[in-house]
């Protein structure tokens, strides 16, 4: 009778275990599309069977096993971080590239051609009021477009700074989620697949935004650090970062466009620590690509160099000559010379200049000598790299296009790499619905068999009790 009751208990316990297994399979199926979820399986152990020794066999549950491969997760995060970098670069450099027209049919390249054409017509008729006015109009158009380009590049920089701020906010939100996950893990005595899924989803999203390293601790928590070592999450403590914009103290160009700055929780500048992820890409476009054009605290920027050399060269030729009335020549262009980064955004035609004030006569007395010198500027190398003015500006535009092209090629390649690494990870830890359907059928049959055994043993026990009565 005792063996029969023991068998009844064993069969009942087996049903409980198979029900846990069925629940685990159901959880896998339900969470197949949940970000960060890894396939779970119930660890079953066959109990020893030896009736003479009082061992009646059966099955026991030894907890959940996760199929997650942390090495595969780390590789996915590493590749996602690179993809975030290139995606941000594509977005930023594309917006810059769109501001340039290298076809020469409009914008500054066309303005330069028109200006030199007006110099040519003026050289033929140096005393023509129409030719003189055409020079002034062409110069004014060029000045307007240079200022507009500088303004547009500045607006792009402002937009990217806004994106940097939003990205920093996202990073802080994700690290807060990870910190709360650590708190919950310390309160639990057994693994929680849902909590684990939330953690790894947050870590993957964070990796897309910044280059981080993840260190797992013995107590189940994780520490998250920037690649340069600055902490974001340590145990149950979050360390928020901040974004700002400033010209460095003691900079050569004190009124230059501000650089984007990232600070840790103590206010220390950690901008150089961030090389990857979306934040790294945005910082690179703002602090390197844009700064190379509009300048920053330590460089004038290629657009300002172009503006200054062009204006100074044309002004120098005109000032060296005289007008038809014998007056000394005056500058055609004026700009803010107080800071090397201010030239492009302030370039304009000398408002006090009239057509009659244009000095066509050179120092030797040639009536159109200065005008011819100005015409020659179209094909003569200037003081910046030995290029023509048109060639130097084309270099600025093509540089923007090259940055965009490289970023797009890298993004396309990296998208394929990320897809491959995710596929490899999912082969190990992802949920296959076909596999789970087969497993579900197996456990259902085991449950049904256990239920029949339990019914049979229960019937035998009832018969035995009736016999005893």
pLDDT of 130-169, one tens digit each?
Answer: 999 999 999 999 999 999 999 999 999 999 999 999 999 9
- The three-state secondary structure class of 50 is strand
Are 338 and 253 in contact by the 8 Å Cβ rule? The answer is no
Output the pLDDT for position 42.
Answer: 65
Tokens linked to 251: 């900079």
First and final C-alpha spacing in the chain: 14
- The three-state secondary structure class of 43 is strand
Q: Which residue has the tokens 């060269």?
A: 313
Q: pLDDT below 70 — which residues of the chain?
A: 1-15, 17-34, 36-68, 102-104, 429-437, 439-444, 446-451, 453-454, 456-469
Output the pLDDT for position 190.
Answer: 74
What's the CA gap between 177 and 279, in Å, rounded? Answer: 19
Are 370 and 320 in contact by the 8 Å Cβ rule? The answer is yes
Output the pLDDT for position 337.
Answer: 93
What's the CA gap between 389 and 381, in Å, rounded? Answer: 7
Q: How far lies 294's CA from each of 36, 387, 468, in Å? A: 43, 20, 101
Are 425 and 72 in contact by the 8 Å Cβ rule? The answer is yes
Output the pLDDT for position 25.
Answer: 60
Listed in sequence order, the DSSP H helices in 125-215 are 129-187, 193-209
What is the length of the chain? 469
């Amino acid at each position: 009778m005792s063996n029969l009751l023991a068998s009844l208990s064993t069969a009942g316990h087996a049903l409980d275990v198979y029900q846990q297994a069925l629940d685990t399979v159901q959880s896998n199926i339900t969470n197949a599309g949940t970000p960060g979820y890894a396939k779970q399986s119930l660890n079953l152990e066959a109990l020893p069977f030896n009736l003479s020794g009082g061992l009646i066999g059966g099955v026991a549950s030894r907890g959940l096993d996760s199929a997650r491969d942390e090495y595969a997760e780390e590789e996915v995060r590493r590749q996602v971080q690179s993809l975030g970098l290139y995606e941000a670069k594509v977005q930023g450099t594309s917006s810059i590239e769109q501001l340039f027209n290298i076809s020469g049919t409009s914008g500054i390249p066309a303005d330069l051609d028109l200006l030199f054409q007006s110099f040519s017509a003026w050289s033929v008729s140096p005393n023509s009021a129409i030719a003189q006015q055409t020079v002034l109009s062409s110069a004014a158009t060029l000045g307007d477009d240079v200022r507009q380009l500088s303004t547009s590049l500045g607006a792009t920089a402002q937009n990217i700074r806004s994106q940097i701020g939003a990205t920093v906010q996202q990073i802080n939100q994700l690290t807060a989620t990870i910190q709360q996950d650590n708190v919950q893990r310390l309160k639990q005595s057994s693994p929680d697949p849902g909590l684990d899924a939330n953690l790894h989803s947050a870590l993957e999203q964070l990796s897309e935004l910044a280059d981080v390293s993840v260190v797992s601790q013995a107590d189940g928590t994780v520490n998250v650090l920037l690649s340069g070592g600055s902490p974001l999450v340590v145990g149950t403590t979050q360390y928020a970062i901040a974004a700002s914009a400033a010209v460095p103290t003691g900079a050569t160009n004190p009124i230059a466009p501000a650089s984007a700055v990232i600070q840790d929780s103590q206010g220390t500048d950690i901008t150089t620590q961030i090389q990857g992820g979306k934040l790294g890409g945005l910082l690179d476009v703002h602090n390197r690509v844009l700064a190379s054009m509009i300048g920053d605290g330590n460089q004038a920027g290629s657009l300002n160099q172009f503006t200054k050399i062009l204006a100074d060269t044309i002004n120098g030729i005109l000032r060296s000559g005289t007008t038809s009335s014998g007056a000394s020549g005056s500058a055609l262009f004026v700009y803010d010379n107080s800071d090397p980064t201010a030239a492009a955004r302030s370039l304009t035609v000398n408002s006090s200049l009239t057509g009659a004030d244009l000095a066509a006569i050179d120092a030797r007395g040639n009536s159109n000598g200065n005008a011819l010198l100005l015409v020659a500027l179209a094909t003569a190398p200037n003081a910046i790299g030995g290029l023509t003015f048109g060639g130097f500006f084309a270099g600025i535009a093509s540089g923007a296009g090259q940055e965009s092209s490289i970023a797009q090629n890298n993004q396309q390649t990296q998208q394929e790499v990320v897809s491959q690494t995710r596929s490899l990870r999912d082969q190990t830890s992802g949920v296959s619905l076909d596999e789970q359907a087969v497993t579900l059928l197996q456990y259902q049959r085991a449950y049904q068999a256990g239920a029949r055994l339990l019914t049979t043993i229960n019937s035998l026990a009832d018969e035995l009790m009736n016999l005893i009565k």
